[in-house]
Chain A
Amino acid sequence: MATIVGGIATSHIPTIGKAIGKGWCNEPEWKPFFDSYKPVHAWLEKVRPDVAVVVYNDHGLNFFLNNMPTFAVGAAARYDNSDEGWGLNVVPPFAGYPEFSWGLIESMVADEFDITSCQEMLVDHGFTVAMGLLWPKEKGPCPVRTVPISVNTVQSPLPSPARCYKLGRALGKAIEAFDEDLRVVVVGTGGLSHQLDGTRAGFVNKDFDLLCMEKIVTDPEALTDYSIPDLIRLTGAQGVEVIQWLVMRGALTGQVSKVHSRYHGVISNTSAAVMVLENSCADERHAREHVLQEHL
């Protein structure tokens, strides 16, 4: 059976992608930021995942409003990045794992999640910037196969934090039910607080970011009490991307240990942060499942 080694939450700010592309990680302005991913690399080298399930949001590269899924799961052998229109370098393709993707989709649909399956799928900076941070190309070829899961953060109505957390729980169950000896890391990308649109553009809420970073470890259910309008108000219109962190967290067990955590302050328009959570054993999940059921 597959094992979830843990979860990673990380921002996916395009400017970071630009810095990666330019090789700026030792520039004084960027070094503290990139250095904060060294403990992440050390942890990944320790736990050696075979697969990364990457929960992100598409910003208008693969999905358009003519066919806009709430939850889309990739089931391709290869995921290409492509021109997003505003100048970010296109990065090389990522390896998929379609058999594993189908295992996840089957399990999640059986659990009454209405998944959109994608046998061809372009991945945008929401996916690629996170991958570039976790597995920098300087360290050699990317050692993991991937399953991208895109969450709708474009078209209201967005899925609620509670629904996203439940998707995560179904995802965790699906991963652990997959009948191969795999080590899986679940990545949630996006956030934290930021807003690009409107007269409140530039909005940042450090207090709420820190609250999210605390609760995501110890009490993720507390975050599921927020509605999407609550989140927009508290973390900015685009800060709602934190719902992807909730999917990641839902896939882990009730108890996790925090391996690493860093809040960076604002990069470009967005609060940047990274966290690594190590998973408890699966038995723990099953014991907790009952309690969660009552809460949600």
Chain B
Amino acid sequence: MAQMNMLQAVNNALMTAMEENERVMVLGEDVGHFGGVFRATSNLQEKFGRERVFNTPLVEQGIIGFANGLASQGSVAVAEIQFGDYIFPAFDQIVNETAKWRYRSGGQFSVGSLTIRTPYGGGIAGGLYHSQSPEAYFAHTPGMKIVTPRNPYQAKGLLLASIRDDNPVLFMEPKRIYRASVGDVPEEDYELPLGKAEVVKEGSDITLLAWGAQMEVMEKAAAMAEKDGISCEIVDLRSILPWDAETVCASVEKTGRLIVSHEAPQTGGFAAEISAKVQERCFLYLESPIMRVCGLDTPFPLAHEKEYMPDELKVYEAIKRSMNF
């Protein structure tokens, strides 16, 4: 075990994957000698050479197009998009190509060995274009897997599983806690399961569901609520697509209440899908409406970032509203 922050855990996972399988390649803007703008790919080029770890020209549609080709050839491509906000030029390559490759070819071909890493989320004074949480845009796309870790341990285990999973994975890294989240991470190789949520804390009155950096917010809100005698069950979704409705519904059937929270704008966010599905399945168990504590339906602001964010106070207020419904 070593103490690592999330960037180190990501870096360590990449090292581990590249050591174990020489077909793993890392590509993206500035990922080479420089090690990426967040340094998640530090020392990889030195260790594995310029052919396995390389800078690309500045063109996201090309990065994913190229990585799609690489993966379809059988190489294991780990492509970095420098910020989640800049993934949209690659939207066609992801949504129309990556996600549909296996299906359209009847399984003859696939890009299952592709992993797309990208930092996402707010809280770093990034304004419109260095703060977005684009998960819901991809969650409407059959064929993709979407994964987000909440801490360094999760990051390493989930990233290794993503790289090795035989499906394309969008791996979203919560950049706000890249350095802030520190914890024990095994030096050895391990994987955590995709498609499985995790009950992080058991409770009986209400279920709080989130993923990535938002987990910290849920924990703080739960601590506030506990002081009022409200027992919160906290669930980390971990995989956004396909998502683990079973674990979530089991929790809701126990508590009767659910709050889902994400930073992305509320309308059309992934909380909507969860809410829709849970009310379908757990209709008779619900004691109050499923609530969403999300970003406002605006572009991501700068001066009003604090006000925009679904912080612990807003979650705490929602908990009380739900309890008092």
> A and B: real partners?
no
B residues sitting closer than 8 Å to A (CB atoms) are: none
Chain A interface (Cβ within 8 Å of chain B)?
none
